[in-house]
Amino acid sequence: MENNTVDVLKALGDPIRLGIVQRLLIKEELCACNFLDAFDITQPTLSFHMKKLTSCGLVNVRRDGTWMKYTLNDDKVRGLIHVLEGMLETKEIECACDVNK
């Protein structure tokens, strides 16, 4: 599994970050203020979570005046879906302990 895929999965392992991604799946672009209200978190806490999501490339950010606007990186989402689908298609791996049976 590619190192960046691991970073994306780690980023999604937090309930707030997963919630942020779920909201971005529904609405194409959201302002930071939407997340502050939805999760009842402080600005520094949001900044921490968004740094995790943007640094792994899952979320894009752009400045709009004094606010930050966030969107999902569609290519990164497709790549993650591809990896997960590949896991579903993986054949059963023979275990070394089963060889002598």
List the domains of the chain with CATH numbers: 3-87 (1.10.10.10)
- Secondary structure letter of residue 97 according to DSSP: G
Element holding 71 (H helix, E strand): strand 67-72
Lowest mean pLDDT among 40-44, 53-57, 80-84, 93-97: 93-97
Q: Which pLDDT does position 92 carry in this prediction?
A: 62
Whether the model pTM is above 0.85: no
Phi and psi based region of residue 62 (left: phi greater than 0; alpha: psi -120 to 50; beta: remaining): beta
Q: Which pLDDT does position 93 carry in this prediction?
A: 63
